[in-house]
Structure 1
C-alpha cells in the first residue's frame, strides 16, 4: 500500500510502519539526516532545453548517467542541470517514478537534504549585511536559555562547523523516536533539547566537525534578532529575492506534487519508494527544505557568487575556507569548508556550493565565483561515506566530469 493518497496525520498501517522502521534502523543516522526490475523501466536518456537552446549534449556525459542508473544498487534516476549565463541544459537518465516510468524533470520537487544548510547560511549572512547579526555574536548573547557550556560558541563557528555542538540527530532519544514513528512531528525549535545535557565535543574553533545541530542554532539566532519565524525569513531574504516559487520548508512528511521519488535500493529487492517515510520537522533548518532542480540552480548561483546577494565584505567572510573540511557527503575534487559553503577544487577549476544526503536522495549544487555558471546534480537514492561508499566514489567522479563541462569554454 502506498501513502500517495493518505491524508497527512492519518493512521499508518502496521505493515507500513514495520517497513519504515526497518528503513530507519538500516539507513537513519546523523549523516542520513543531514541531512538521513529498474532496468526495464529505464527510459532513453537525453538532454532537454529550457530557455534558449543549449549546446549540443555531451555524449560522454550522457553515457555516464546511463551507466550510473544501471549500476547495481545505484539510483533509479539522475538529473543534472547545467546553466551558463542564460543557457540551460538538462541531462537526465532513468526514472523519477518507477511506477509510471516517467523520467526526472527539472520542475520536480525533491528533498535537498543538507543543501538546506546553505539556505540557513544565506539567511544569517544577509542579516549580517543588514546589521541584525554579527559573526561574533554568541549563543549566550542571543540564545541564553541554551546550556551555559555552549554560550561562547559564535555564529561564525556554527556556520563553519567548528562549534563543537553535539549532534542532536545522533542522540539515542531522538533516534528511538524515529525508529518507533518515522513520521513523528517534532517541535523543530526544540531539537537541541535532545543534547542539552551534553558538553561541547571540543573547544569552540579548535577543529572541524560537521553537525546538524549547528544550523538549528543558526536559525534560532536569526529568529532571536528579528522576532520573525525562520520560515518567514527564508521567504523574505531568499525565496522572493531569487524568485524561488517551488521551494519550501514543510513540517510534515508529504511531498508537493509533482516530485522526484526517492528510493531505497537494496538488490536483489526492487527499489522501494521512501519519499514520504520521514517528517521534515526532525531536520528543519539543517535539512528539511524541498526544492526543484531549477529553483536550486537559481539559488546556488546567488549563493556561490551572484552579484548583489551578499556584500563584498560578507562574501569574503563566507569564503574563508578550512582546508580538508569536507561537506557530507564529500563533493567532487578537493573539499574545503567556509561559512555554509564548500569549495570544490577539481582538475578543471573551482566551484562553490554544498552537498546533502537524506533517505532517498543525494544532492550536489555548486556555482562559479562570479555566479555566471552553476550546476545541480541529483540522484534519487542515498549515498554517503558510510552508505554505499563505492557508489559515492562513482557519483563524485561523474560530478567532476560535469563540473569540467560546466567550466569548459564554448
Structure 2
C-alpha cells in the first residue's frame, strides 16, 4: 500500500489503514476448510489456537468464549500483552471492529419494531442534507450493503488527514462529507458491496428519527436490555484498562502495539465500539436470537442475499440486515466479523441465541493482508462453531 512510505516508522501499522477501514473486495465465501476438519474437543481446539499463535507471523493472542445454554467455556492462547506476558481474559476490553455494525443494526431494527423508522425510509426523507443523488437509498439497503454509497474510508481527503495524524479527532457525524461529491457506485438494491458508509448513515437516520444521540440510543436500546456493562463508543484513541493489546504483525519486524494508534471517531458507528469478550457473548446471543425486537422484524432481518462479511466468516456466507449467515459443515450460525488495526473479531450464535461463539484475535487478518492465514483462521473458527453446535468437549 502506498501509505507505507509516507508515515513515520513508529506508525508502521497505519500503512494498512486503508485495508482495515475500507470495504475491500469481499473474500470468497465458499468452504473455509484448510486441509480438512479437525476434532473439535477442547484439547484439540486448544492445540489449534496454540499452533496458530506460535506460527510465524501469528497473532500474539487468541481468546474464544463458547456458550451452550448456561454452560460457558473459555479457551485462550498466547498473551494479552507482550510486555507483561499476562494471558487474555474474558473481561479484557478490546476494539470490536466491524462487529459494531451489528450494534447499529440492532438500534435501527429496534426503532423499526417501535415504528419510529421503516425499512423503506429513504435518505431523502430522513437525511435531506445528504446529496440528492443518494436520496432513493433506503434503510433496508444500508443494512444489507446494497446501497451503493461510496465508502468514506477510501476517500483521499479522509486518508490524507489520517496520514497526517492517525489520532486526529474526526467529526463522526460528518464522515460522509468526504464522499458527498461522489455518485452512487450502482443503482440501489442492484448488487452487494460492503461499505463503511452504510452504517454511518444508519446511525444518522436513527438520530434523525428520534432526535437522540446515537450513543444514548445504544445505551437504552442495546446495552441496557442485554446487560452490557463494559461496552462503550468512545471518541478518542484510549482504551480502558484492562485491555487486550492489539498488534501489527509483519515479520521480520517485531510486533508493534497498535492498540491506541487510531481515534475511534474516524469509524464511529461503523467500527468504533469498545467491548469485552464477555459482553460480546451476551450481545450476540441476544442479537442473533432476536430478543431485541418482534418476529416480524426478525423475519425481515433474515432475508438472505449473496454477500460476505469482511473478513469472511466460517463456511458459506450470506448477508441479511446487519447480520450474516454462516453455513458450516456442522450447521448454521448468525453473526458478524470485524477487522481493525490489531484486532480480528467473530461473533456468532444459533438463530435461537442459545449457543454462541465469540472469537477474538489480537492482530489484523484479512484477505488483502494475508489470504492463507485468513483461510486457516476461518477453518479454526469453523471447528469452534462445530464444538458449540455439537457440544464436543
Partner of residue 50, structure 1: none
Q: Please identify runs of 4+ aligned residues in structure 1 that moved more than 6 A.
A: none
SS at match of 2:367: coil
Alpha-carbon spacing, 1:225–1:188, altered in 2? closer, same or farther (3 Å): same
Partner of residue 271, structure 1: 255
Partner of residue 16, structure 2: 27
Q: 1:133-164 deviations in whole A, cap 9, x for unaligned?
A: 00000000000000000000000000000000
Alpha-carbon spacing, 1:152–1:347, altered in 2? closer, same or farther (3 Å): same
The separation in 1 between residues aligned to 2:115 and 2:145, in whole angstroms, is 23
Q: 1:333 aligns with which of 310, 315, 319?
A: 315
Q: 1:125 aligns with which of 103, 106, 109?
A: 109
Q: Does 1:394 align with 2:383?
A: no
SS at match of 1:91: strand
Partner of residue 9, structure 1: none
Q: Does 1:227 align with 2:211?
A: yes
Partner of residue 172, structure 2: 188
Name stretches of at least 5 consecutive residues in structure 2 with no aligned partner.
1-6, 25-39
Q: 1:150 aligns with which of 122, 134, 144?
A: 134
The separation in 2 between residues aligned to 1:28 and 1:409, in whole angstroms, is 38
Normalising by structure 2, report the TM-score.
Answer: 0.92
Q: Does 1:107 align with 2:97?
A: no
SS at match of 1:386: helix
Name stretches of at least 5 consecutive residues in structure 1 with no aligned partner.
1-16, 37-55
The separation in 2 between residues aligned to 1:380 and 1:184, in whole angstroms, is 23
Paired residues in the alignment total 371
Partner of residue 8, structure 1: none
Following superposition, the deviation at residue 390 of structure 1 comes to: 1.3
Conserved 8 A contact 1:20-1:182: no
The separation in 2 between residues aligned to 1:313 and 1:204, in whole angstroms, is 24
Partner of residue 39, structure 1: none
Alpha-carbon spacing, 1:62–1:34, altered in 2? closer, same or farther (3 Å): farther
Partner of residue 77, structure 1: 61
Q: Does 1:299 align with 2:283?
A: yes
Conserved 8 A contact 1:351-1:368: yes
The separation in 1 between residues aligned to 2:132 and 2:249, in whole angstroms, is 44
The separation in 2 between residues aligned to 1:388 and 1:256, in whole angstroms, is 29
Partner of residue 43, structure 2: 59
SS at match of 2:369: coil
Following superposition, the deviation at residue 21 of structure 1 comes to: 4.2
The separation in 2 between residues aligned to 1:409 and 1:383, in whole angstroms, is 28
The separation in 1 between residues aligned to 2:122 and 2:80, in whole angstroms, is 43
The separation in 2 between residues aligned to 1:279 and 1:35, in whole angstroms, is 18
SS at match of 1:105: coil
Q: Alpha carbon RMSD of aligned pairs, Å?
A: 1.4
SS at match of 2:368: coil
The separation in 2 between residues aligned to 1:153 and 1:35, in whole angstroms, is 18
SS at match of 1:388: helix
Partner of residue 303, structure 2: 320
Following superposition, the deviation at residue 220 of structure 1 comes to: 0.2
